[in-house]
Amino acid sequence: MHSKSEILTNIQNNPVVSVIRGESAQESYNTAEACINGGVKVIELAFTAPHADETIASLSEKYTDTDIEIGAGTVLEAETARIAIISGATFIVSPSFSEEVAKICNLYTVPYIPGCLTPSDVQSALTYGSEIIKLFPGSVVGPQMISELHGPFPQVKVMVTGGVSLDSLQSWFDAGANIVGVGGQMVGPAKNGDYKGVTKNAEKFIKGTKALHLIA
């Protein structure tokens, strides 16, 4: 397992995160594989998916000693965070900020990326050790929110989730986003078993970030 600093660096160097919410463990696993085949190196598997801990364990075992990061999303409380970490998740993502989740992540030296929508959220997250915050839902606030947040919090790294598409990719990064989390715009075809479609979408997002000179 990578160190916390290595994980944070890897996520920032690979700024497209696939957000996966499968309707079965097999769908989640196949979708993650399809995204990785398309060049995505950071996977966020939501705990709304059935048996998410088992899927994380399987993916983590397969991609041990690689530069692929397998993380857990929709983590609402410390118990789920601990299960995810024990299963092999290298980072934890929440839709909102939780002091208890932050503490358990700090205990295990695992990056915690909490959902934030207000300056108070951001301040709480930074106070409890988060180095990256998730601006969520991005579709509600728009890219300008990032530059506004960077006024009082110039040091904060921002991952935008919700409302990210190929067409809006440049707008988010131009506004100061460091990372984007992409769900349905990338993994939507998986609902119909079209994993090749997922891979093609992933390739498009990776190509888009390369065009912006965000990855080599």
Distances (CA, A) of 129 to 3, 48, 77, 156, 175: 15, 25, 17, 11, 24
Reply yes or no on whether 44 is catalytic: yes
Q: Which residues of 191-214 are buried (b: 16+ CB within 10 A; e: fewer)?
A: eeeebebbbebbbebbebbeeeeb
Sign of the C-alpha dihedral, residues 28, 29, 34, 35?
A: positive
Catalytic residue among 41, 134, 204, 207: 134
Q: Is 42 helix (H, G, I), strand (E, B) or coil?
A: strand
Reply yes or no on whether 210 is catalytic: no
Catalytic residue among 44, 79, 148, 196: 44
Report the length, in residues, of the chain: 216
Q: For residues 211 and 154, what is the distance between their CA atoms, to the nearest angstrom?
A: 26
| 8 Å CB contact between 112 and 90 | no
Using only C-alpha atoms, the chain has a radius of gyration, in whole angstroms, of 16
* Residues labelled as active-site residues: 44, 134
